[in-house]
Amino acid sequence: MDMPESKKHINLVILESPGKVATVNSYLGSGYKVISCKGHVRDLPKSRLGVDTENDFKVKYINIQGKSALITELKKEAKSADKVYIATDPDREGEAIAWHLATVLGIEPEQALRVAFNEITKKTVQSGIDAPHPIDMNLVNSQQARRILDRIVGYKISPYLWKTVKSGLSAGRVQSVATRIIVERDAEIEKFVPKEFWTIEAILGLGKNQKIKAKFFGDENGKIELDCGEEAQKIVDACRDSEFSVKNLKISKKSKSPEPPFETSSLQQVASRRFGFHSKRTMKVAQELYEGVDLGAANGGVHGLITYMRTDSLRISDEAAAAAEALIRAKYGDAYYPSKRKVYKSKAAAQDAHEAIRPASMDFTPEDIRPFLSSDQYRLYKLIWDRFVASQMKNAEYDAVEVDFISAGYIYKLSESVLSFKGYKLAYSDDDEVFDKTSKLRGLKEGDVLGIGEILATQNFTEPPAHYDEASLIKFMKEKGVGRPSTYAPTITTILERGYIERDKKLLKATPLGVATVELMKKNFPKIVDYKFTANMEDDLDEIARGNDTLEHVLGAFYGDFEKTLAKAQEKIGENKVELPVEESDIICEKCGKRMIIKSGRFGKFAACPGYPECKNTKPLDASGKSKKEKEEPEKTDLKCELCGGDIVIRKSRYGKFYACSNFPKCKYTKPIREEIGVACPKCGAPVVKGFGKNHTVFYSCSSYPTCDFSSWDLPTDKTCPTCGGMLAVKKGKSVLVCMNKECSYKENLPEEKPEA
């Protein structure tokens, strides 16, 4: 006899994200029902402060608008279940969501069955369900303290900014500091005065037509800085008439350790540098890999591929280390595994609640599961995989040679390192070092005299510091202790959306609004935009999480001083009004003749008539701030639309030309025009064409697709592999030719001029 429907699922598991439901459900089986609460179910009200600052910061939470039906469903499912497991994300925010869920469902925190999955694998999920624990109220109170702090700062300072700067502005505790960082870097660049300095380089003959370049250092008393051309020329003249001999020569062995496995900030930095990913994009893809990807029936369906991606820990489990060791010994050999396991220490401020970001299982290599991953997923997963494997491997080793040359009493230096043992670089490296190359300097000995080719003096000027991009800003925030792994990406997104900063290609620059707001905050609320104060506040929140401090004490210590500061600022509100500079354009309003000004809106910059509201004329602007031109007339063809029979025209986009139906928008037929690259397909002989994949990444494929399935991320060439006769291709992003035959390892370095790939 079949069981009633209400009794089939006796245990309820509530997850935070809908993306994990299918994965977890497949691991637990029919005895469980897995659903999602879709994030927070309760929060502070939007219409008022919601915090009683006079009564130990008691909070008035309300159910989030639009979630009534979901909460009703959660209550219904919980009521009919034998057990309710709350399996929200394994961080403070997840712990707070678990507490809010328990409150809504009428479950006492100490009675709750709280489960946290550091990785979404079958073993971890089942182990977590077998060993639930109560809700950690220290973590909850730490999150509440952060939320209340941010609410107080936002709701108390924002009205002040409306009256002094511009209506609609909002203040944020961490966001204000991040904006200040960018504003001050921009000011540093603007005030920078270049200083002249000179360098000298001697080109010396080494025999067998080999030449080396030795750089001027100083004299036998130490380093000499050259700040004028006359001084440099005096040294050049003296050395030109004097022989160069080897004064000192030092040969040594050096080693380079691998980087530790990723934590949140380092993953965001490297993904930005290598792939151009914004931090928000990196975290989105990492979330997908953590929650689970369907790898097909042959691989067991859906699997979580990485550990939790919001962490500042470098710790890995013994089980993960053992799995990495087994893979390294099997793939690279025993010589590539160190005699003692590598262990990386997290920084003192790290919360260390989770492991570093690593593959959840070593069973799924990036190459094996590539067909099941999107381009972004594959690139990020491979990056995490390679870095983790390399972190457990032996150091790379070098033969180093350092030479001091002397001429006319002046010292010139030259050093060279030759890679003698690849070590971890077999798995992960940022460079293309040549292995086992012969050192030019090893044959030298003290007293050897070298022939002089040329001695060149070059004028240089010091460079200003670089503008921040996302990677360098995140690095700086981490070094200063501003924010935590979960806040880096949303902080940058927020200050971009609020118009305090803007993107200039990859660079982040302050807007006039950001500059004015930071100056006002520094004058009236110095602590809120102070690096040390913000970092110390993060430490105080950590102390609450550890149970060493209380929410009431931390908030009380902050609010007493803040209230006085706010009162003083309110007294001077009239004299602190800020006039934002008006940015004029070169566009004349065709309706009233006035010169239009540039404003920022929800969809970017636009030109507006300064005669508003009498004249409401506006114009969209392109990325360079110029008025967008009228759309170009499409190019006509003799082709007919496959869908409606209309005329086909050729249109242009930023990614090249494409066919489109002239009946748009009624008919939305489009077809990309693939550009031939002058190479025949190695499979069928048809022309190879250039195309764009997901996120507009370039790839190459056969023009006869889908009849022929040839495709490649690397640029095919008409060159033939000397080893196996296969086709050679330019490796994507590198100056290297590689054989397209997977079984052939032929590689050839290209000249310095890198072909586009």
Residue positions annotated with a catalytic role: 308
Identify whether the C-beta of residue 547 lies closer than 8 Å to the C-beta of residue 138: yes
Q: Cβ of 652: how many Cβ atoms within 10 Å?
A: 13
Instruction: Give the Cα separation of 36 and 88 in Å (integer).
Output: 9
Instruction: Give the Cα separation of 285 and 282 in Å (integer).
Output: 5
Query: Residue 108: CB partners within 8 Å, gap ≥ 6?
Result: 102
Instruction: Give the Cα separation of 592 and 583 in Å (integer).
Output: 19
Which amino acid is located at 270 in the chain? V
* Nearest of 616, 614, 620 to residue 587 by alpha carbon: 620
Eight-state DSSP code of residue 694: G
Report the alpha-carbon angle 395-401-402, nearest 5.
Answer: 120
Query: Residue 559: CB partners within 8 Å, gap ≥ 6?
Result: 53, 57, 152
Which amino acid is located at 355 in the chain? E
Instruction: Give the Cα separation of 18 and 300 in Å (integer).
Output: 20
Q: Cβ of 91: how many Cβ atoms within 10 Å?
A: 21
Instruction: Give the Cα separation of 267 and 313 in Å (integer).
Output: 12
Q: How far is CA 301 from the centre of its chain?
A: 29
* Nearest of 222, 247, 234 to residue 198 by alpha carbon: 234
Residue 159: φ, ψ to 5°: -60, -35
Query: Residue 631: CB partners within 8 Å, gap ≥ 6?
Result: none
Instruction: Give the Cα separation of 650 and 661 in Å (integer).
Output: 9
Query: Residue 470: CB partners within 8 Å, gap ≥ 6?
Result: 268, 272, 278, 279, 492, 506, 508
Q: How far is CA 478 from the centre of its chain?
A: 13
Residue at token pair 């006492």: 108
Instruction: Give the Cα separation of 151 and 424 in Å (integer).
Output: 47
| b/e sequence 341-357, b meaning 16+ C-beta within 10 Å | ebebebeeebbebbbbb
For 130-230, strand residue ranges (E) read: 196-207, 210-219, 222-223
The DSSP bridge pattern shows strands 670-672 and 196-207 to be unpaired
* Nearest of 185, 177, 171 to residue 527 by alpha carbon: 177
Q: If 0-12 CB within 10 Å is exposed, 13-18 middle and 19+ buried, where does residue 298 land?
A: exposed
Identify whether the C-beta of residue 104 lies closer than 8 Å to the C-beta of residue 74: yes
Identify whether the C-beta of residue 417 lies closer than 8 Å to the C-beta of residue 400: yes
Q: Is 648 helix (H, G, I), strand (E, B) or coil?
A: strand
User: Helix 551-571 vs helix 137-164: angle between axes, to the nearest 10 degrees?
Assistant: 0
Six-digit token string for 178 = 């991040």
Instruction: Give the Cα separation of 433 and 605 in Å (integer).
Output: 45
